[in-house]
Amino acid sequence: METEKKKTALSLIQPSGTITLGNYLGAIRNWVAMQEEFNCIFALADLHTITVRQEPAQMRKNILDAYASIMACGIDVEKTLFFIQSHVTTHAQMAWILNCYTQFGELSRMTQFKDKSQKHADNINAGLFTYPALMAADILLYQADLVPVGADQVQHLELTRDIATRFNGLYPNVFKIPEAYVPKTGARVMSLQDPTRKMSKSDENVNGCVHLLDPPEVIMKKFKRAVTDSEAVVRYGEGKDGINNLIDIYGAVTGLTREQIEKDFDGKGYGDFKTAVGEAVVEALRPIKEEYEKLRADKAYLESCYRKADEIAQRISQRTLSKAMKKIGFVQ
Ligand code: TYM
């Protein structure tokens, strides 16, 4: 799984609900594509999810659903490490260490913290605030070169680079400085109901977010109800956030450019376009759903996959943790 020459690509996703079309187009699709060229390490960031309250039975279900969904998207556990974060003890240990090398001011500037503390004003816990230090630990433990993420995670990645650079300045050669790897199309999929906000699992309006496992008729309904504008021309432009988002989604699933899409829908109305986008998304997700049903039914197989990966992840990450602790001055 690990080779000498290949660069390491690493990324995690929160299993805090079913995987969304945004997660797929912004991140997972890239993960799948990177498996040949890179030494790939992916994981479910379940420790991150408890920064927001979770219902225990639902949380257990979400984790297994997410594991099976991501495998169904095309993550091949024979060549890629795909583990569960909370099963690998080094993440929480390294997060504590990195907390002590991360500044209050840096964490205060994180837009995700500001957004989430507005959304959950009754529970602005310390974990929500120090979340980026755990994310930095996830990445730096594995000496990752590239981190395939959607545009919303770039700020966290920049902070990871700052923390690693600061740490290396004090204790040379501990961490590799990673780079973000953001896709050209699908990097920021917006809500279908409020296209000025990113599509998110926690969207209060269920019609704003398409889930990978939504039945085809639900997907079609969500696209047909998508918020647009009154111009009724399928063209990319300012003040047309809804149509811009639909054009980008259509482009991401069909591979067509914005110009080609505008040409194909010249003279056609929004109704036709929304139907075409819905159908294209349904078709793209159909094989994933079929594979998911098969995988999810075999709990023992899923468990054997993550247990194997957890063990390897523990071993790889322990090397970096031990090195960092030694340099800091802990007794070995
Ligand atoms: P999360 O779980 O919110 O999202 C997982 C991945 O999906 C991308 N994404 C999107 N891309 C395009 N449009 C959207 N609407 C959209 N919504 C989500 C995200 O950019 C991400 O790549 N903090 C991370 C998880 C994490 C992580 C890490 C990522 C924990 N440790 C280490 C990389 C490396 C998060 O909450 O992603």
pLDDT in tens, the chain (332 residues): 554 689 999 999 999 888 999 999 999 999 999 999 999 999 999 999 999 999 999 999 999 999 999 999 999 999 999 999 999 999 999 999 999 999 999 999 999 999 989 988 999 999 999 999 999 999 999 999 999 999 999 999 999 999 999 999 999 999 999 999 998 888 899 999 999 999 998 888 899 999 999 999 999 999 999 999 999 899 999 999 999 999 999 999 999 999 999 999 999 999 999 999 999 999 999 999 999 999 999 999 999 999 999 999 999 999 999 999 999 999 98
Give me the helices (H) in the chain, please: 21-23, 29-34, 46-49, 56-73, 90-99, 104-108, 111-119, 126-140, 154-170, 216-224, 241-254, 258-264, 270-296, 299-328
The response to whether residue 116 sits with its C-beta less than 6 Å from ligand 1 reads no
Q: Tell me if 199 CB under 6 Å of ligand 1.
A: yes
What is the pTM for the complete model shown? 0.95
Same fold for the pair 8-187+299-328 and 206-293: no
How far apart are the C-alpha atoms of 293 and 92, rounded to whole Å?
Answer: 32
Q: What is the pLDDT of residues 262-291, one digit of tens each?
A: 999 999 999 999 999 999 999 999 999 999
Domain residue ranges in the chain: 8-187+299-328, 206-293
Instruction: Answer whether 240 contacts ligand 1 (Cβ < 6 A).
Output: no
What is the rounded distance in angstroms from the CA atom of residue 61 to the CA atom of residue 180?
Answer: 30
CA dihedral of residues 293, 297, 301, 305 (deg, nearest 10): 50
Q: pLDDT (tens digit, 9 = 90+) per residue, 240-253? A: 999 999 999 999 99
Tell which residue, 27, 17, 322, 306, has the closest CA to residue 186. Answer: 27
Query: CB of 48 within 8 A of CB of 131?
Result: yes
Q: Is 22 in the pocket of ligand 1 (CB under 6 A)?
A: yes
- For residue 210, what are its two tokens? 């398409």
Cα dihedral 81, 44, 144, 200 sign: positive
- Measured in angstroms, how far is the CA atom of residue 4 from the centroid of ligand 1? 28
Domain 8-187+299-328: state its class: alpha beta
Asked if 212 and 15 touch (Cβ cutoff 8 Å), the reply is no
Identity of the amino acid at 256: L
How far apart are the C-alpha atoms of 158 and 144, rounded to whole Å? Answer: 14
- Ligand 1 pocket, residue 185 CB under 6 Å: no
Q: Is the CB of 28 under 6 A from ligand 1?
A: no
Q: Does residue 224 carry a catalytic annotation?
A: no
- Active-site residue, from 7, 176, 201, 224: 201
What is the side-by-side strand order in the sheet with 39-44? Answer: 81-84, 39-44, 8-13, 146-148, 179-181
5 an active-site residue? Answer: no
DSSP state, 18? Answer: S
Q: Any idea which residue has 């992916």 for tokens? A: 42
| Catalytic-labelled residue, pool 5, 119, 184, 198 | 198
Name the CATH architecture for the domain at 206-293. Orthogonal Bundle (1.10)
**Which stretch of DSSP H or E encloses residue 12?**
strand 8-13
- Please give the C-alpha separations between residue 224 and each of 154, 193, 242, 304, in angstroms, as whole numbers: 31, 11, 12, 41
Contact 207, 192 (CB under 8 A): yes
Alpha helices in 120-171 (DSSP H): 126-140, 154-170
In 3D space, the residue among 273, 271, 233 whose CA is nearest the CA of residue 251 turns out to be 273
From the CB of residue 313, how many other CB atoms can be counted at a distance below 10 Å?
Answer: 24
Which pLDDT value is given to residue 3?
A: 47
Give, for ligand 1, the residue of 46, 152, 241 to mutate: max count of ligand atoms closer than 8 Å to Cβ: 152
Structure tokens at 319: 């090397």
